[in-house]
Amino acid sequence: MKKTATGLFDDYSDARAAVSALEARGIPSDDISIVSNNVDERQTGDTNAAEGAGTGAGIGAAVGGVGGLLTGLGIMAIPGVGPVVAAGWLAATAAGAAAGAVAGGAAGGIIGAMTESGVPEEHAHVYAEGVRRGGTLVTARVEENLYPEAEAVLRQSNWVDPVERRAAYAEQGWTRFDETLDPYGPAEIEQERLRYRR
């Protein structure tokens, strides 16, 4: 049975390092996903993955090629998160869930994709909010025996503790991810990063 190791990162470079470390440990690229706020207009590399990524179609297909997950990055939109640079199974699932979300049903989009893969709902809301505020989310689906190692890899790369971040958000009056809110812009993201920089 597979479990999902998840890490939120304030800095994109830390998330990239985590993806590379997961791949170096032998976790297949198609079991890793990265979703990053694209307000900084990050380079997606020499790829045409963005062409079909609006619906998530190009993302899944772009993953697993030579060079690992990061060579398959594409641009897509996730409700409430806005434009993201993304690749991997979570991004494709989130895009598909958002496209097929039924009004009144379970939370679709990125929250639904995470909770369906086993991420606790309270953490999923923190992770989605973190991406909305400029962060980067990395997930890895791994066999249960590899889960502790995958979690350790994510923690070594300056990951955000979801319990601590939830408390910090709550101090600002936040309760849960709201996909109707606008994503943070560059100035807000910089202010947010300064707030948590160690």
Per-residue pLDDT of the chain (198 residues; tens, 9 = 90+): 889 999 999 999 999 999 999 999 999 988 999 988 876 555 444 333 333 333 333 333 333 333 566 555 677 677 667 777 777 877 666 655 444 443 333 345 788 888 988 899 999 999 999 999 999 999 999 999 999 999 999 999 889 999 999 999 999 999 999 988 888 888 999 999 898 876
pLDDT for 170: 96
3-state helix, strand, coil in the chain (%, to 5): 50, 20, 35
Q: Identify which of 79, 83, 70, 80 has the alpha carbon closest to the alpha carbon of residue 32.
A: 70
Instruction: Tell me the β-bridge partners of 82.
Output: 78
SS3 88: strand
Residue type, 24: A
How far is Cα 60 from Cα 94, in angstroms, rounded to an integer? 11
pLDDT for 81: 74
Longest Cα pair distance anywhere in the chain, in angstroms?
45
Q: Which helix (H) or strand (E) holds 105?
A: none
pLDDT for 105: 34
Given its phi and psi angles, is residue 88 left (phi above 0), alpha (psi -120 to 50 degrees) or beta?
left
Q: How many CB atoms lie within 10 A of CB 162?
A: 20
Q: Identify which of 107, 63, 70, 111 has the alpha carbon closest to the alpha carbon of residue 88.
A: 63
How far is Cα 21 from Cα 153, in angstroms, rounded to an integer? 7
pLDDT for 180: 87
Q: Identify which of 22, 2, 1, 30 has the alpha carbon closest to the alpha carbon of residue 159.
A: 22
How far is Cα 49 from Cα 30, in angstroms, rounded to an integer? 15
pLDDT for 9: 95
